[in-house]
Each structure stands twice: as C-alpha cells, then as structure tokens.
Structure 1
C-alpha cells in the first residue's frame, strides 16, 4: 500500500531530561507545519581489512543523527499572552520566551517626557534595563489619533528608544501602555531540547534531544514563515496510525500589509525582510551514549539578515553613509490587526555588511545585508 505525504503530523514537547523521550501527545503538543521532512546522517565507517580477495568485509554503521525540517506559518495563538504552538521550537533554537501577562501599567498613564524618537516612561513602568525591549508601546494623546511603536532600547532610567521617528516630539501629553504580549529574544543559557514525533501516514519517527536552527522571512502582501531545521537523536521508527484529537491554534496567519516596514526609522517599501538565526551546533563525543555522542548543543550564534527596500534619494535614506561609518541602525516591521495575532519584528542594531543596488520590475532597489548585533539582543519577535 502506498503511503501519502499529506497524511502527516508533527508533535513536539520540551524534555525534562535531555535525550529522554518526553512522550508528546496530540491534544497539547501538535505543531501545525508545512513540508515536514526527515533525513538521516549515519556515521558510516569504511574498513580496509585484507581478506585474501579484492573485496573487503563492508562498512560498519556507527552513530547517527536525524534532521527534521519544516516550515511554520508566522502567527499568534489568538489569545494575548498565550504562546503559539511553535513557541517550543523557538526555545529549542536558542530563543527565550517572555510572557507579559498583564498590561503595563494596568491603565495607560502619562509619560514623563519625550522626543521624536524616545519616550521617558513614568511611575507605572519598570526600572529594569531592557525590561520592554522588543515590545510594543500603545501611544495616545500625542500623537493625535494614537500610534503603535516598539521599544528598540530601554534604560534603567525608563527611557524607551523607539523604532519610529515622530513628526512632533512626544511629551508628558503622551499616554503609553505596554499591551499583553509574548516576546521571543535570543538566549545563551537554559536552551531546552525537544522530543519530536513525526507521523507520516502509518509510520512514526521518534527523535529525542533535538535542538534547532531557523530562518525567518517576511514577504510583502504574503504571510511570514519560519523554516526550522531540528537535529536530534534517532529513537525509533514504528508503524503507528495518525493520533486522534490533534489540536492546533485556530488563528490564521496575518498578511504583511497595512503595517510598517522601517529602515533607520524611515518608511521603506520592500518585498522581503529576513533573518538567519545562524546557530552553530555540535554533538559532543561520548562513548557512554547510545550513539557514541550526545544530543546536539548550540555552541555559537551569528545572526544575519537582509531586506530589499526600493532605492531613495540620499536625503531620504543614506544607508551608504551608515555602512561606511559602521553606524548601527534600527530595522523594524509590524503588521496584523487581530489581538493576539499581531506581529512585530525588531532588529535594534543592524550593522550593514553590504549594500547591493538592484532592479525590481524596472524600479531601483538597494538590498541591505546586515549583521544583527548585540549580546542576546540581535532581534526580537513579539506577538500581541
């Protein structure tokens, strides 16, 4: 009987003990993905024994790692403060999950002062540096009609540097509030491992001790996508029917339209914005382990990205000057209209590594290649 690729499902659960099957179940651990694929990387040892013949005795299969790749559509859970089902994959890729379960402050309050690019928050805000970095600020009063901006930097003195450039300086007439949100930011410690169950029309592949690398891409007029590559240890292949009761987030992904795309606080028309997580991974040698090595760990990260805004006059946006001077600039996007399914991507300090003029349907473009700089602060993904 032929097996079909469409009849597939992925379950993922964070492990209590690295490399020990966490037994994910359909009701709580299903992750809605596209294009799930599995591949194997056996360490095949070639031997060269002399046998009295031109033929040897054949290779020996050593330890083996497994990779599962899939694409996740970028969307929220639909419930503010509730992580999306793909959040556990982000954790295994070295991103910390920060949940702001209640708005800060509970009711919007007046700021202490402001400028065209910053706002000094008042008594209801935290005095902890970077407490709100990557999160949205809902602004009312000034500017008239209200606005949403994001925090690119936040000091212990409660000064929030914003992703936007306002035409009129913000002030004590500006009321602000941080809404309930779920934030993902790079982490260097406490990176969990996953147990993955990949069902494929009657087959079940089990993988333990998995950690991930990924690429995020936004496309104008289209949906955002995160492509994950998860490396783990093979734990078995058995015959198993697709589990009953698969539960997924009910939301549909928002489209990148009617939002913002900013390069150095300048509104910039572009077709795409992407970041490569850039995780370097290794499997530590360990003859005590079943495969001769331990589950993969993330040893370093080099996060990079690119975007392709339409070219402008130097007076509007002078990225070349920033490249030549090594000046770091904010790159930001946000979109979505439904609460719990709005998305913000903030790169607080993009360091340009190259600028490439191009053509898009007869229009000049300027592809920005950049490094996402900052310790555990290269980029932030917020759902609110």
Structure 2
C-alpha cells in the first residue's frame, strides 16, 4: 500500500491576486482561483555560482545558489465573464502582463498597455499538499484562436520566491464564474486584417514581454524590461486581385487587425491592433486548400497600443 503522503500530479490549484505593494504577499484566496490547463512549473530558477577553489585533489566543490525565482506557465480558456462590464476571472493575470483595466458599466472591460506603474500579483501554486508562493509576479500573455482547438491564453508568470509550505487541505477551487468557451468557427469568429475580412485557420499573438529578474544589492524585483508583440495568421490563399500579401509585405505597409470571438453579450472577447506589419508570407495547405502563413509584427501607432483586449 502506498504511503499516506504520496502526492498526485493531477491535483493542482492556482490562486492569483493583485498586490497593493510590490512584492508584499496579497494572500490570494479560493475566490481568486484560476481554472488552468497545460501547467508547467519551475520552482527554482536562478544562478549557480562556481567556487573554483584550488585544492590538492579532484572533486566537485559544489555551488552557491543565488538570484532565485520561480516560473509558472499555463493556459486559460478565452471567454467572457458572463456579464458585459464585469471583469473576467483572469483579470489579475492580464493586469500583471502590463495591461491597465478600464471598466465601462454594463458594456465592456478594456485592457490597454501601460509601461509605468505596472501592477504585480501574488500567486499561490499548489501541487497536492505543497504550496509555492510567488511574489511580485510579472507576466506575458499569448492568445491563440485555432479552428482545431479550444481558444486559449498562454500565460508565462515569473515571480520572486515566497514561502514553500505544506498544506492541510487543497483549496476548494471550482469552475463557478468561468464561462465555457465557444469554438473558433464562422458563426463565432470574425477577423479583418488590412481591410480584408479573412477566411482562415488560426490566429496566434504574443505580447512579447521580456520578463527580467533583477537582484541588485538593496532590492529584488521582476521587471518587464522590453516588449515586442508578434504573431502569425494562417489564412486561405485568395487571388492577388483580392488581397496581395506579397506586395503588402514588400512595401512594409501597416494595417489594422480585429479579431472578434463570440456573439453573446457577456461572452465576447475582441483583440484589436492599429498598425500590423506583414512579414514574408509562406505557403501551406489544409485539406489540400492552399493557405498563407503570415508573420505579424504588432507595431505601436500612437504608443502603448500594440494591441488591446476587450471583454464585453
């Protein structure tokens, strides 16, 4: 019979809450639970300082661990909150990515990029009886809409090491307040790119936040030190008279993108970008239908507007 304290890999929970003060534990609770998928967790990343001692014999001299932090990566389904003008359950994660939240009552919640006064989060990651606290968390987000998969955000979270401790019980996180996502289909999803209403297979985006752990003497923090938003659209190939991606790419022309997913109020997520540059198109096929794979560079227009996420 196995020992009573054997830990089961599938039993996980994630709690996320915005911090009032950077790096001070916000003590996320069950109500702050995140329903996630495809979780990857690295409990200790950092540096190993080699001692390189000269001794009259051979052997491993060990290392000194320093600059330690944790990394948590996971997917969250893309859906609304159920009520237009109410923030979705993944709100804190988007804010830790450097988005500012603007709520218009009964209408929408907009997430627009900020670079100053970026909010941070505390995350508790529980793995069957052991809790890892991450503090001062900053994050990156990469949304994907694909006709063959559930639409999802991919979050990468980096945080300072907090307390690692045993838990008496796992938190009672439920799916309450989490809407079931709708599939990416003609009925549910509309994309326009450079003025063309697209027919396609997928759209992937990556905010491209560079998450930099810093451990100078006198301080320690995680910094979003740079950003370069990019993506890829896979669309059906049409005649050049309809849309000539080769000329658009050669000219470096900038154009707008809009992707609206969902049709029911309270469960609509929209991503917009004003100045998207098309990279070198490549050919592909889906079921013998010719496609283009279009690299996308989300450039700022007025600044801080690489792309915007609206939940409504």
Larger Rg: 1
- Measured in 1, the distance between the counterparts of 2:53 and 2:149 equals 58
Length-normalised TM-score, structure 1: 0.75
Deviations 1:116-155 (A, max 9, x none): xxxxxxxxxxxxxxxxxxxxxxxxxxxxxxxxxxxxxxxx
Flag structure 1 segments of 5+ consecutive residues without an equivalent. Answer: 103-179
**Aligned equivalents of 2:76 and 2:60: distance in 1?**
46
Residue in structure 2 matched with residue 36 of structure 1 by the alignment:
39
Please give the secondary structure, in 2, of the residue aligned with 1:296. Answer: strand
Shift of 1:347: 2.2
1:376 counterpart (284, 296, 304): 304
Write the distance in 1 (CA, Å) between the matches of 2:264 and 2:149.
16
Q: 1:239 aligns with which of 137, 144, 166?
A: 166
What are the residue-to-residue correspondences of 1:1-384 with 2, within 5 Å? 1-27=5-31, 29-39=32-42, 40-55=44-59, 57-102=61-106, 180-220=107-147, 222-240=149-167, 241-244=169-172, 246=174, 248-257=176-185, 258=187, 259-289=189-219, 294-374=220-300, 375-384=303-312
Q: Using the TM superposition, give the Cα deviation of residue 286 of structure 1 relative to its aligned residue in structure 2, in angstroms.
A: 2.0
Distance in 1 (CA, whole Å) between partners of 2:234 and 2:40 is 30
CA distance in 2, matches of 1:261, 1:331: 7
Three-state SS of the structure 2 residue aligned to 1:90 is: helix
Paired residue secondary structure (2:89):
coil
Who is 1:149 aligned against?
Answer: none
On the 8 A contact 2:122/2:136 being kept in 1, the answer is yes
Q: How many angstroms apart in 2 are the aligned matches of 1:369 and 1:244?
A: 42
| CA displacement 1:153-192 (0-9 Å, x = unmatched) | xxxxxxxxxxxxxxxxxxxxxxxxxxx0111222212211
Root-mean-square deviation (Å): 1.7
- Distance in 1, Cα, partners of 2:195 & 2:13: 41
Structure 2: gaps of 5 or more residues: none
Q: Normalising by the residue count of structure 2, what TM-score does the alignment of the two structures yield? A: 0.91
Paired residues of 2:215 and 2:221 also in contact (CA < 8 A) = no
SS of the equivalent of 2:253 reads coil
Distance in 2, Cα, partners of 1:20 & 1:285: 16
Contact 1:41 1:64 in 2 (8 A): yes
